[in-house]
Chains A and B, each alone.
Chain A
């Protein structure tokens, strides 16, 4: 039994993929020249007013529903006030006491068995506007900061979980499942490098003592730039908190909440400078915006339009396509487009298992080897269906099937054309029987072995048959030969 439990909660910021910003008409496209996607509204010019982008709000509702959240019938906008050069209004429009959604959950599981299946609760999801980006030029002597306001006003969803995670691996699993869900919904590309998904973690320990469990002070970990670094940072921080506990015996409430930044190079967290007094954001309702009401009819409408989400798709693959939880997990986790590819192949060939094998061993491997996305993949689902039908029908064995697949992939051929190019053709059944009769007749020793009970000896007929005609189906050769021997 371990000495402590790790308690983790996450705060995830996700940029919503809208054409325009939350409160003005500027584009949200990433990567444009600095300060080219701005207008008087998002640069906070005197006299300007925000107007809510209803599409962004609808997209937020869609996400919250997919996270099993309750949608508030009435929600409002609040100003969160602080000074920073990339916040041109001196406040961020956010949601404080009445977020548009609350009390949801997301299930994590891992068929590989690294973590137990678990339902993680979500405390709230709210919508806010993003700030701009500060670029600090640290050149000695000429320290200079540059501000890019292109990002200012981009719709940002803040998802706050309950402290339900008990290990860094669970935190990573939550993020992985969340990202998958968001990409299935098509609301975000979740690109951490471009900042469209950002994660902060809150962590402390519940130390087991003779007097029961004691909670240590909570630390907020920032600057985690990948899911992997989330896992590593939280693992490091849990160990550090254990060391601190052993030294200081500090309990929750003894010291103010600390903020630490993860250093991906040094593999450590570092305390961030913070003022003694906790910041007071002086939240108050934004008088420039009107409250938003959401009817139950609207909620039902969005709910019905959600489409099939990852968890449901996994279940469907297991029950209707007869594949294992492990296989369905692999397929679903590839994303919606790849899963759709699998579904098209499995439906076309009417064999979920065969499609799953080929999808994982051949399609996915090719994608990985060549760093392709499924959209860039050269063999359309219909073409793969044609190939798998030939394999399923016995026209090709797996080995030859793979050769055909390779030709289809590299030369962009159909299954038939690839077979023709390779000189593969189906051998006529009567021809095949005649060929088998010839071999059997010529090899009385093997026939005797088989008759003596060593059925495996028939395997050597396959090689002989192939020498005579490279297109023969090995399984069929063996079958026919055994039948002929049985009749002898």
Chain B
């Protein structure tokens, strides 16, 4: 097997045995990026020299026998939503196109401390809002299995670069399915940790009560390795939980005995493509053959998940994105042009004797806000800011935001009840495999409904993983397992059991030349 088609776990063994150097590995992946990314578009930025410099430094330290971190020498790609000192962190938005972070996010700091080679920054939907990566202000990302299709989103770049063997490990973020859905569509493994498991410090907020960063990789073993590095309590994030981090990578290959799985009645309804349903049911059989018991369960409030999600997330987003106003950093409108235009307008009105209208002209400050934000944000971000602003307005708050919070609680209660009966909830990630680029860009509602199987885990704050479980017309299908809060250790073991019994996760797209 070639170097770039190895798993991170295998590469780590090679590195530790000094059979491969980080420079060799990193070069191989950089070659792959240079060869294929012009067509895939997974990376917003990568820097061959900087990556090789990191790799070389780690190799030198290894040669000297110095202590090294858990990921020493392994390339990791980072979604362009996590800050890194001195580097651009654009969130795939024009409004932050020139923003260089003065500080490291905790996730990036942990990767650096683990001696990972930060190989590049991946494309995404602007501010993580979307399910196809088409909302990036800078470029489209193409699905490595079919370049005419989306990789999913919002962590489309993060999933595509793993699928295209451009990196063994990748960090995404998941607010309503943004790790699991692209993982499914790109045929890789992606895990959304429990809310509070991974620090959000430096993860540029979309919806603070839902956002979590997590790993994408080929296998559950590799995801375990990466999660082990980024998880843990962070005093700079009040919502991160002070619970010990298990050695996920050590236990991931231990099968679980007496496993019980819950198949959600409501998941198998209209809208689910037959191939996807078929693949999921086959996967359930695999688990049964491994000794699992399967029972049908109900999550009665899951049908409200998308509605609740599209209130909670935009409300928080409308507030979180208020800081991008062109005053302190980021995109600012052309002030000279703005002043000239305002003055001309005022003169014109005064000359026409329309003094009242002239008085009503906005102040330059308000105009600066308006123009900077109008120019800096894309249509989907604006749509969500407007949704959230509306729902939080006086007179609407109780009917929308407060009501949504109440239903959110009921969704969590559903899961709590389910996890008293079963260890994991099993089901599809997405109603269909990857769709054509451009197919849903004019139909935001159809795009939102794609999130139907994934948003509940974010609303409930629980963990979820997507693993490859089959193909439909050559496109990967994802299987979702959801676990109770802080049960990632067993969740990863359950995923690894499946991957021991199946080979879907070993399939690679051909990528042409």
Binding site for B on A (CB under 8 A): 40, 43-52, 79, 81, 83, 85, 88-91, 147, 280, 282, 284, 287-290
Contact = CB atoms under 8 A, between A and B. Distances in A.
B319 A85 contact: no
24 contacts: A40-B103, A44-B323, A45-B103, A46-B99, A46-B204, A47-B101, A47-B105, A47-B201, A47-B202, A48-B103, A49-B200, A51-B235, A52-B238, A83-B322, A83-B366, A83-B369, A88-B327, A89-B323, A147-B327, A282-B392, A284-B319, A284-B392, A287-B316, A288-B239
B263 to A, nearest CB: 32
Contacts of B203: 47
Contacts of B379: none
A290 B203 CA distance: 18
B325 interface: yes
Chain B, interface SS category = loop
Contacts of A50: 238
B208 interface: yes
A137 B26 CA distance: 54
A91 B322 contact: yes
B208 A288 contact: yes
Contacts of B32: none
Interface of B: 82-83, 89, 91, 96, 99, 101-103, 105, 200-205, 207-209, 235-239, 315-316, 318-319, 322-325, 327-329, 365-366, 369, 389, 392-394, 397, 401
Contact of A40 (B102, B200, B209): B102
Highest count of chain A CB atoms <10 Å: which of B204, B207, B328: B328
Contact of B328 (A43, A48, A81, A288): A43
Contacts of B238: 49-52, 288-290
Nearest to B401: A284
Q: Lowest 3 A-B CB distances belong to which pairs?
A: A90-B322, A287-B208, A287-B209
A290 B209 CA distance: 11
A46 B392 contact: no
Contacts of A40: 101-103
Given A288-B238, A290-B239, A46 B201 contact: no
Contacts of A51: 235-238
B328 A44 contact: yes
Contact of A284 (B237, B327, B328, B397): B397
A85 B323 CA distance: 10
B96 A46 contact: yes
B385 to A, nearest CB: 11
Nearest to A85: B327
B322 A46 contact: no
Contacts of A290: 238-239
Highest count of chain A CB atoms <10 Å: which of B82, B200, B208, B323: B323
Contact of A49 (B102, B201, B389): B201
Contacts of B96: 46
Contact of B89 (A46, A89, A284, A289): A46
Given A52-B238, A282-B394, A284-B392, A46 B209 contact: no
A45 B329 contact: yes
Nearest to B402: A284
Highest count of chain B CB atoms <10 Å: which of A47, A48, A91: A47
B319 A88 contact: no
Given A48-B103, A88-B328, A90-B322, 7 more contacts: A46-B96, A46-B99, A46-B324, A47-B202, A90-B319, A284-B397, A287-B208
A46 B236 CA distance: 14
A47 B318 CA distance: 15
A284 B315 contact: yes
A81 B322 contact: yes
B382 to A, nearest CB: 15
Contacts of B318: 282
A480 B134 CA distance: 110
Highest count of chain B CB atoms <10 Å: which of A52, A89, A288: A288
Contacts of B328: 43-44, 85, 88, 147
A89 B239 contact: no
A8 B105 CA distance: 49
A110 to B, nearest CB: 42
B202 A48 contact: yes
A90 B316 CA distance: 13
Highest count of chain A CB atoms <10 Å: which of B96, B319, B365, B394: B319
B126 to A, nearest CB: 13
Contacts of A43: 328
B239 A47 contact: no
Contacts of A47: 82-83, 89, 101, 105, 201-205
Contacts of B397: 282, 284
A438 B203 CA distance: 99
Contacts of A147: 327-328
Contacts of A91: 319, 322
A282 B236 contact: no
A43 B389 CA distance: 23
A50 B238 CA distance: 7
Nearest to A90: B322
Contacts of B102: 40, 45
A391 B66 CA distance: 80
A282 B391 CA distance: 9
